Structure 1
Amino acid sequence: MLVKMPVLSALISAVLPALFTLNACAESTQYQLEKVVEVSRHGVRPPTPGNRKQIETVTQRSWPVWQTADGELTGHGYTGAWLKGQFESQRYRQLGLLKADCPSDDEVYIRASTLQRTQATAAALSSAAFPGCGVPVHALSGRDPLFQYPEGNASPAEKQIAKQEALKAIGGDVSRAQQRLEPQIAALKRALCHPGSTCPDFDRPWSLHVWSNGRIGITGLDSLGAMAETLRLAWSENLPAAQVAFGQVSTTAGVARLLPLLSAKYDYSNDLSYAARRGGSILMGQIAAALDNHPQPDAPPDVRWLLYVASDINLAYLRTLLDFSWQQGEYPPGNIPPGGSLVFERWRDSHQQRYIRVTFQAQSLDQLRQLTPLSQSNPLLITEWQFPGCKTTAVGTLCPYDAALTRIKKNIDPAVIVPVSYPKS
């Protein structure tokens, strides 16, 4: 019997999507998620005390006081982190990484830095992923080398290396970089300076400094970056529009247009090879050790989900060591939103071949402001790390295990590595 063309077309339209779905499902079953190592930024907070002093000096006006103490995680920030933790853990259960009930000690380990905002964020993630289970958050009571820049002074030669890297990133001349960014500086000045005030600090020449420990500071840009960060945090906190940029912006797009100077601050002072090796090698070494298929006695806890909660600068160092970049949603390039995280996944296929998938994932400005529940139809923003040899699969971009681990380890500086302890429950 002949099938008329309209009917045949309808049959094809109905059958092909089903075939593609079956093929995708069949392909996904070829891969098993074995381990996740995640490094998350803390959730939404008010400006730190130091940043508040800095931005109020430059703008010559008082900025809104939040209900939460400066620098500490807000209730809104806790909920935003909770929503992300719930979404992630649901995915890990669907993939068979986690079981339905409370995890055992060999399944999950959560480690936060010494800051209140990181520990409170870790508690939100733990509560969301394992409600009622009391999965502990581990943190040191004193200085934690895993998350903090190494102590001690850099040598003159090291300082020169840091300076030259910063100058190369900035284009060779600080004043020309300031001129290039004048439209962004002017936009921030219009939004933040009190009407009738000249705000002279906005126009002062920038200067580059190498601090005693080798880190880079750029006087002028540092304070402008702090302002942009505070605006992004205020919008994410769902503060009334009148309290964001003093009522000069009222939309997500308007806030996003004031953020590029934050990206410039990352580019010129944090995303530098010397700083990343000094500040990120210990943490990257622990990530590599956790992903290793043959864990050593001094490796991190051998668990299915190893979750670190730290600060944006920690993630900036790690992405620089990986040569990983992104631009997501309405954020400017390289933005690390509250709760954003680098996720390292180890996979195994049906032939016992292993792979590594690395992503940066974050909630959008609107998702954070509105505390939008996450789902397959309203997912996280995700960017995948890749290099020649990686392949696209139903479970994401998978990179050959040995090649990926080599790249993860490549820029670790053994000179800064120190033993890392992991507190027990």
Structure 2
Amino acid sequence: MAFINHYQNLFAQILIIAGFIVFPVVAKGTEYTLQQVVILSRHGVRSPIKHSKLLNEITPSSWPQWPVKPGYLTPRGKLLMTLMGEFYGDYFRNKGLLAEHGCPANGTVYVQTDVDQRTILSGWALLSGMTPHCRFKIHHQENLKRIDPLFHPVEAGICELNKEKALNAIEERLGAPLQTLSKRYASPLAQMSKILKFDRSPYCEKMHKMQKSCDFATFLSNKIYINNKGTILLRGPVSLSSTFAEIFLLQNSQGMPDVAWHRLKGEANWESLLSLHNAQFDLMAKTFYISRHEGTPLLEEIGGALTHQMKQQRIFSTLPLSAHNRVLFLVGHDVNIANIAGMLGLNWQLLQQPDNTPPGGGLVFELWQKMDDHKHYISIKMFYQTMVQLRNKQKMDLWLNPAGMLSIPGCDNMGKDKLCRLEKFQKKLQQAIEPICRI
């Protein structure tokens, strides 16, 4: 990962990348005070969720073994989440949201997680890193075998997606029929084929024996389908490549010595390959018809938590937040972050991190109050660990880690923090919410 080190000296500079502005997280002389924060966090580094027969069919190479069950947070992933929690603690104390010394008062911090092992342990790690030696607990749905509608309303049966409407919305976002997807991403698909050695795979050997061609970009059609849980999914080379690219990123974050069988090196190659993963999420999680169905409960929770102490509250939290609450963690998955981004029209590209929703990354919603007129504003940031930090288990630092200030479409986006007036933000939330998906 030496290619990333070339950019270490850029952390303290202002960069503009596709509407994503990067600043040091500590600013002096502010005329605003931070009052409330909600963090929608992805869980930490996990093992691949499943090892299907297809994984062995599309490459002659053996996949590496992981130290935990499929889909579980690894011990290293827990450590990396603890480091992320330490960073949040430093940040909140620097902003005056948490006391500089000692444990926060009861109710100040609340952590709600999904029911998976990887989200529950990630919640614990964040909390222990942010408030070490303090007796707090995390919260999650009591029945761990039931799908939590807060994070997965469609899969929980709260509302349904229509396949035809979803396909039309996806193709509208794509700007072309779904069948053109492989052609659009021909270059990274060819790169993936080379990394997998697809032409020498068991699958291709069978095709060659039958005198048939075997091209990775066309061996499957790009199609969408709805599984038995009601989730709309993409099937085909781009979807498969999205999974493989994420596996390689997880291998790198896990510190494995043979990432992608030593066939993936260089910044440009990582960015090219992860473009397939980002494309999959852009279409299948950020398309507005899909995102508003899948993201409504979480977006309502975010909006309600930010204003739970205000008389002008328009959206209400379903969680039992204390009047003293200042920090709410919602620990879920990359798809949850992408859903909320799709609902609000947020787009970003991360410096030194080719995955737009990396392990441990957090979409951070902040409520600010202007000191002179007491008006309230919202800013949205993306906090994350770079590839180097994940690879090397590096401790994060306020001055050396950027905060991405995201522009919110339809808002004023005032100043370097891209502040949005609370009233406008609340209106945007209400317009994005799908009523039938409320819980």
TM-score normalised according to structure 2 size: 0.82
Matched-pair contact (CA < 8 Å) for 1:342–1:359: yes
Tell me: CA distance 1:103–1:56, structure 2 relative to 1, closer, same or farther (3 Å).
farther
Matches within 5 A, 1:148-227: 148-150=152-154, 151-152=156-157, 158-193=162-197, 196-197=200-201, 198=204, 200=214, 202=216, 203-211=218-226, 213=230, 215-227=232-244
Q: For each residue in 1:63-119, what CA deviation from the matched residue of structure 2 results, as whole angstroms up to 9, or x when unmatched?
A: 101122221111221121111111111111121111121122320110110000111
Question: Which one is further off, 308-317 or 158-167?
Answer: 158-167
With a CA cutoff of 8 Å and minimum separation of 6, indicate the structure with the bigger relative contact order: 2
Query: Percent of aligned positions with the same letter in both sequences?
Result: 28
Question: Unpaired runs of 5+ in structure 1?
Answer: 1-23, 419-425
Asked whether the 8 Å contact 1:343–1:359 carries over to 2, the reply is yes
Shift in Å, 1:53? 4.3
One-letter amino acid matched to 1:355: Y
* Shift >6 Å, 4+ stretches: 153-156
Are 1:283 and 2:298 an aligned pair? yes
SS at match of 2:390: helix
**Please, which moves more after superposition, 249-258 or 364-373?**
249-258
Work out the CA distance in 2 between the residues paired with 1:43 and 1:69.
15
- Aligned pairs, number: 386
Query: Cα deviations across residues 173-213 of structure 1 (Å, max 9, x unaligned)?
Result: 23322112111111011112267444747231423123163
Which structure is higher in helix share? Answer: 1
Give the structure 1 partner of residue 328 of structure 2.
306
The answer to whether the 8 A contact 1:364-1:380 is kept is no
- Taking structure 1 as reference, are residues 195 and 215 closer, same or farther at Cα in structure 2, changes over 3 Å only? closer
1:95 maps to which residue?
95
Aligned partner of 2:251 in structure 1 is 234
| RMSD over aligned Cα atoms | 2.3
Residue 396 of structure 2 corresponds to residue 392 of structure 1: no
Amino acid at match of 1:84: M
Show the counterpart of 1:261: 276
Partner of 1:106: 107
Query: TM-score of the superposition, structure 1-length normalised?
Result: 0.84
- CA distance 1:40–1:153, change in 2 (3 Å): closer
Residues 256/68 of structure 1: CA separation in 2 closer, same or farther (3 Å cut): farther
Deviations 1:227-270 (A, max 9, x none): 01101111111111xx2111112455543332111112112222
Q: Distance in 2 between matches of 1:298 and 1:248?
A: 47
Contact 1:44–1:73, Cα closer than 8 Å, also in 2: yes
Q: Distance in 2 between matches of 1:70 and 1:404?
A: 39
Q: Deviations over 1:9-50 (max 9, x none)?
A: xxxxxxxxxxxxxxx743x1x211110011000011111115
- 110-119 or 164-173, which deviates more: 164-173
Residue 349 (structure 1) aligned to one of 366, 370, 378: 370
Residue of structure 2 in register with 1:76 after alignment: 76
Equivalent residue for 2:58?
Answer: 58
Alpha-carbon shift at residue 380 of structure 1 (Å)? 4.2
**Structure 1 stretch 320-329 or stretch 261-270: which is displaced more?**
261-270
**Radius of gyration: which is bigger?**
1
* Higher alpha-carbon deviation: 382-391 or 124-133: 382-391
2:423 pairs, out of 392, 397, 402, with: 402
Give structure 2 stretches of 5+ with no counterpart.
Answer: 1-26, 206-213
Question: In 1, are the aligned partners of 2:111 and 2:138 still within 8 Å (CA)?
Answer: yes
For 2:396, the equivalent position in structure 1 comes to: 374
